[in-house]
Amino acid sequence: MSPRLMFLSSSTFQSSVARSVLRPAPSFLSNSHHHHHFLTKRTSILSNTLLVKSTRTTLTASASVSSMASSFYPEKARVPPAAQPPAPPITKFKIGLCQLKVTADKERNILHARTAVEEAAEKGAKLVVLPEIWNSPYSNDSFSVYAEDIDAGFDASPSTAMLSEVARLLNITIVGGSIPERSGDKLYNTCCVFGPDGKLKAKHRKIHLFDIDIPGKITFKESKTLTAGETPTTVDTEVGRIGIGICYDIRFQELAMLYAARGAQLICYPGAFNMTTGPLHWELLQRARAVDNQLYVATCSPARDTTAGYIAWGHSTLVGPFGEVLATSEHDEAIIISEIDYSQIELRRTNLPLEKQRRGDVYQLVDVQRLDSE
């Protein structure tokens, strides 16, 4: 029997969409009803877990590339099959990443963010991205104090009211970083996306909470105050189909794989990596998510403030579909303007045809939400 390796997620990871699993493909039997029953049964059993398995297989060295691809069932590697995004209204545009210094003055933070968005738009940006937790200090003590009830409307959420207004006035798309959100008796770390008409197009609640303990370096547990989100987010905008993650979400490659399978051309990760993991992992993770999925990755961090309780690494970055760093900042306040050209995605996917080379006979990425909706 082939050896198998299994990892189970934490019990707090309960997302109906994030329950997507990467697992060995079932045998391709002639009985399609049996295959469908297998998927349905396994999906039910694994409804609140993330299961990763890998198996070994034997390759026939003399097989041609084309026959190998067909015999490996690449179309079965993603269930349901990978989705094709609609053609975006524009395929080449400028993106602005606003790396901002955050203070304890909420009104000042909102005004400062607005000014930065306006400056990015003046420089030609059609998509503007803000940092993680840009209207509040990043601390468990602050989240409840600065939280806004987004669903209650703009009167209860001055941060999103500003984003909506400026998106409409400037005719741009805004990935609004993240702010603490209050919903009933729960708090979330939430990113809102606004279109050029000022309407809220999507709301992403951070799925993977930042709970780490590196002795002598950093200990932080978002779960003390925040609740994990339950839904991965892809959104069709005037600048393409975008997947949204927040900071710690970037460490989980399965989420990025799911976004790619849903047809995302760009993944935006507002984030605030720290001085311990930032130098080691921040750029590494961005480039890995981009090159593995052959799409663009944009990140936006707060500027570094050495007097703050939590010190952000900075280095907001745009990475291309070949893993190349197209633009980046240092740690001070900055507005980065760079260009995204979606034709580069097709070029790189032609250079490296990974989609046609996936091993559907060995593994599967199962998007549980899409599967259940079909």
DSSP 338: E
pLDDT value of residue 70: 67
Chunked in runs of 10, what are the mean pLDDT values of the chain (374 residues)? 37 39 50 45 39 40 54 92 91 98 98 98 98 97 98 96 98 98 98 98 97 92 96 97 98 97 98 97 98 98 96 98 98 98 97 95 93 84
pLDDT value of residue 374: 77
* CA atoms within 13 A of residue 274's CA, in its CB half-sphere: 18
DSSP H helices in the chain: 32-45, 65-71, 106-122, 140-146, 158-170, 253-261, 283-293, 343-351, 354-357, 368-373
Burial, 234: exposed, middle or buried (Cβ in 10 Å; 0-12, 13-18, 19+)?
buried
Farthest CA pair distance, the chain = 68
pLDDT value of residue 62: 41
- Could you give the angle at which helices 283-293 and 253-261 cross, rounded to 10 degrees? 30
Q: Token pair for residue 225?
A: 């105050």
Residue 207: CB atoms within 10 A of its CB come to 24
pLDDT value of residue 67: 61
Q: Which of 76, 126, 201, 206 is catalytic?
A: 206
pLDDT value of residue 97: 98
Q: Which of 106, 132, 201, 268 is catalytic?
A: 132
Domains and CATH numbers, the chain: 91-372 (3.60.110.10)
**186: annotated active-site residue:** no
Q: Which of 98, 192, 247, 300 is catalytic?
A: 247
Q: What are phi and psi of 229, to 5 degrees?
A: -70, 165
Q: Token pair for residue 278?
A: 């930032």
DSSP 82: P
- Rounded to whole angstroms, how far apart are CA atoms 190 and 180? 6
DSSP H helices in 137-282: 140-146, 158-170, 253-261
**230: annotated active-site residue:** no
- Label the pairing between strands 266-270 and 296-300: parallel
- Rounded to whole angstroms, how far apart are CA atoms 350 and 327? 24
Contact 188, 227 (CB under 8 A): yes
